[in-house]
Amino acid sequence: MAEMTVELVAVERRLWSGRASFVFARTTEGEIGVLPGHEPTLAQLETAGLVRIDTTDGESITVAVHGGFLSITPEGVTVLAENAEMSDEIDVERARAAAANADGSSEDGVAAKARAETRLKAAGVAG
């Protein structure tokens, strides 16, 4: 099986590093799936989007990512996120409360609701 090196880094910490067979991300230009040998690319991540990494040992890692960049080089993939939460770190009740309390009448409120809903998706639960 073909594989690549993947680094997932947020401003405050490295979340994951290892070998993977596939990376999925949501960018401002749309969704992108990355296999080993992908054309070099630099893309801006959505303000509230998911990144999924399929590791070479069969594990699937889902992360709620809020802004940043995706860099694809011949050596591998680097996700540089402004903020990111691994699915198993997400406080579901807090995310539900944030989604319910977000003020949809302002741009900031819409973004806050989108971030909360993305955290819920990453955790694998409905809002």
Find the domain containing 107 and state its range: 88-123
Same domain, 80 and 104: no
Would you say 66 and 84 are in contact if contact means Cβ atoms under 8 Å apart? yes
Angle between helix 92-101 and 107-123 (nearest 10): 150
Strand partners, 8: 16, 79
Taking the CB of residue 117, how many other CB atoms lie within 10 A of it? 19
Output the pLDDT for position 102: 86
Q: CATH no. for residue 44?
A: 2.60.15.10
pLDDT at 9: 98
Q: What is the DSSP letter of 93?
A: H
Residue 81 near residue 10, CB atoms below 8 Å: yes
Residues 62 and 9 placed together within one structural domain of the fold: yes
- Band (pLDDT 50/70/90 cuts) for residue 17 is very high
92 shares a domain with 81: no
Per-residue pLDDT reduced to its tens digit, 21-65: 999 999 999 999 999 999 999 999 999 999 999 999 999 999 999
Q: What is the pLDDT of residue 127?
A: 56
SS3 2: coil
- Tell whether 74 and 105 lie within a shared domain: no
Query: Does 40 lie in the same domain as 66?
Result: yes
For the segment 106-121, the average pLDDT, to the nearest whole number, is 90
Q: Are residues 72 and 17 in the same domain?
A: yes
Residue-wise pLDDT tens digits, 93-112: 999 999 888 877 788 888 89
